[in-house]
Structure 1
Amino acid sequence: MLNCVIIDDEPLALQLMEDYVQKTPYLRLAGKFEEPLQALNLLESAQIDLLFLDIKMPDITGIDFYRSLSHKPEVIFTTAYSEYAINGFELKALDYLLKPISFEKFITACNRVRDLMENKNRPVMAEKDFFFINVAHKMHKIFFDDILYLEGYKDYTKVHLTSASNPLLILHNLKYFEDMLDKHAFVRIHRSYIVSMRKVTVASRKAVTIQQQELPVSDNYRDTFFALIEQHAR
């Protein structure tokens, strides 16, 4: 169970976020506030795992308020103004939700937080660096680090590898690989593409480059992709 706090100066937005939290089984609402400073005592004294924080507020911005905290929970910024996104990611926010916020976007962001927290608490064990998969009735060994990107074609997926000039065509859809692969090492950027974060050389809001191949980044996956990039930023 993740203890969360909501801060938003708009009562309707605050109520919507509270409703979303109550629908999410692994979230517990520890407090909700229209004024950031009213939340300060709770945030400094209690074990708060996740903060939903509006950015544009009258007396202090959510970004400045978050910077001021001595104990910083994981944060998901919420706002109606897209120009604040980069500032939010500079603070290593786990996600950035643009109003009006749908429950689908909300639960996707929360699932990322839950997965991150579970991974932090999971014992470190030796993991395989490869897997076997059926390709044309033969079992092929694929090293995770050999994967450049995966390209979906309905029920099939092309796996592009550094060690092969031609991709492997595998009878599994892209969702199969999305569920199987490490979500911190491989990220979906488009309904048709999953990329290896190690192999991305250039990234923009619209595309990524892997070995001179430019792949599109779609609106549905952009925020999650850039949140992951910020985790690796220095």
Structure 2
Amino acid sequence: MRCIIVEDQQPAQRILKKYIADIGSLTLVGTFGDAMQAMDFLQNESVDLMFLDINLPKLSGISFLKSLSKRPQVIMTTAYSEYALDGYELDVVDYLLKPFSFERFVKAVGKVRRHTELSGETENQSKKEHFIKIGYEHIRIAFDDIIYLAADGDYCEVCLADKKHLSSEPMKKWLELLNQDDFYRIHKSYVVNIHKIIKLSGNQVHLQDDAVLPIGRTYREEFMERFLK
């Protein structure tokens, strides 16, 4: 993760630089003594994480954060615990009270990683469509139009009401893209849109396009509990 330090005290800067250097996943791309310098940098550079002191000259860390239309993830640092509420109201990931240990620093960075992962999952789940490559063309597939997916080796057949498309992306990739509230795996080879199910008959699922798919033994109990709840 690309990170910056916004801190006016040299001793605090040195500690943060040392801690950052000790974590391989962090890359320090800038250190700034006031918010105005950091603001200029952020206008032209992409940053994943900012270590931000609250008590800064010219413009406080709180005011600086409020002024940003697009914020990186933020870990606030300060010697004054009374500012913690202000920080959390601005949706900062964590709050480090000076002086803080390396262990506490690692814990804060871990929160950033988890927050990033959750944000990525939410973004995938909020997607409503996906482009797949067919020959020299890219075809837009609306997730709501998908009736079921069928694994075909390293490929995946995307089955709609009026046609089928062979996607070069495997089933695993499609499962990452699709909202798990709408799509469910019923067999090692099949994922169905639960809103397209007409009925269940024995160990088979009947879908809107007259497709009839088997329910795998491994998936049956969990699927039935979910579908019939």
Structure 1: which amino acid aligns with 2:92?
A
Give the drift of 1:70.
2.3
- 1:170-200, Cα deviation, whole Å (9 max, x unpaired): xxxxxxxxxxxxxxxxxxxxxxxxxxxxxxx
CA distance in 1, matches of 2:73, 2:43: 14
| 2:10 is equivalent to residue 8 of structure 1 | no
Shift in Å, 1:5: 0.7
- The residue type equivalent to 1:114 in the other structure is R
Structure 1 equivalent of residue 64 of structure 2: 65
How is 1:137-216 mapped onto 2 (pairs within 5 angstroms)? Answer: none
- Number of the residue aligned with 1:229: none
Matches within 5 A, 1:46-61: 46-61=45-60
Give the conservation status (yes or no) of the 8 Å contact 1:43–1:71: no
Is the 1:44–1:71 Cα contact (8 Å) retained in structure 2?
no
2:105 maps to a residue whose letter is: F
Q: Deviation at 1:119?
A: 2.8
Contact 2:20 2:27 in 1 (8 A): yes
CA distance in 2, matches of 1:56, 1:120: 29
**2:78 partner amino acid:** T
Partners of 2:24 and 2:82 in 1: how far apart?
Answer: 32
Match of 1:45, SS state, is: coil
Q: Please report the RMSD computed on the Cα atoms of aligned residues, expressed in angstroms.
A: 1.5
8 Å CA contact 1:44–1:70 kept in 2: the answer is no
Q: Does 1:98 align with 2:97?
A: yes
How far 1:95 moved relative to its partner?
0.5
In structure 2, distance between residues paired with 1:117 and 1:65 = 22
CA deviation profile, 1:39-78 (whole Å, cap 9, x unmatched): 1122122111111000012321100011111221111110
- Compute the displacement of 1:15 (Å): 1.0
Q: Does 1:126 align with 2:125?
A: no
Percent identity over the alignment? Answer: 42
Query: Within 1, Cα distance between the matches of 2:31 and 2:88?
Result: 23
Aligned to 2:23: 24
1:109 paired residue number? 108
Higher relative contact order (CA 8 A, sep 6+): 1
| Structure 2 equivalent of residue 78 of structure 1 | 77
Q: Whole-Å Cα distance in 1 between the matches of residues 11 and 5 of structure 2?
A: 12
TM-score, normalising length from structure 2? 0.52
* Counterpart-to-counterpart distance in 2, 1:121 and 1:58: 35
What is the CA–CA distance in structure 1 between the aligned matches of 2:86 and 2:75, rounded to whole Å? 12
Q: How many residues were matched structurally?
A: 126
Q: Is the 8 A contact 1:66 1:72 kept in 2?
A: yes
Deviation (angstroms), 1:118: 2.2
2:35 aligned residue: 36
Whether contact under 8 Å (2:65, 2:71) holds in the other structure is: yes
Indicate the SS of the match to 2:8.
coil
Task: Give SS of 2:43's match.
Answer: helix
Structure 2: runs of 5 or more not aligned: 122-175, 182-229
Larger radius of gyration: 2
Give unmatched runs, 5+ long, in structure 1.
Answer: 128-234
- Runs of 4+ more than 6 Å apart: none
